[in-house]
Amino acid sequence: MMQFPYFLLAAILCSLVVMQINQRIASPLLSIIDRWLRWLVFAFGGAQICVDFKLIDRPFWVMVAVLFIAWFLGETF
């Protein structure tokens, strides 16, 4: 079974590939997919970093939710 960081790395690579394809095609659907993928990578990746380095003593899912909301607020301002 693959470890979670490898799934994050695969999601990052998929996001980069989708971004490159979207620059050539300019598809609204690909743009939406790339944006959601970046949100998920930021939320899950940041939570994984916080858990691995023991930066914050909260459950993983709480960190994912907080970082997802933080990325949402950062994107909308």
Q: For 9-65, what is each residue's pLDDT tens digit?
A: 999 999 999 999 999 999 999 999 999 999 999 999 999 999 999 999 999 999 999
Q: How many CB atoms lie within 10 A of CB 44?
A: 20
Q: What is the pLDDT of residue 10?
A: 93
Answer yes or no: is pLDDT of 75 > 90. Answer: no
Binned at pLDDT 50, 70 and 90, residue 5 comes out as confident
- The reported pTM is 0.85
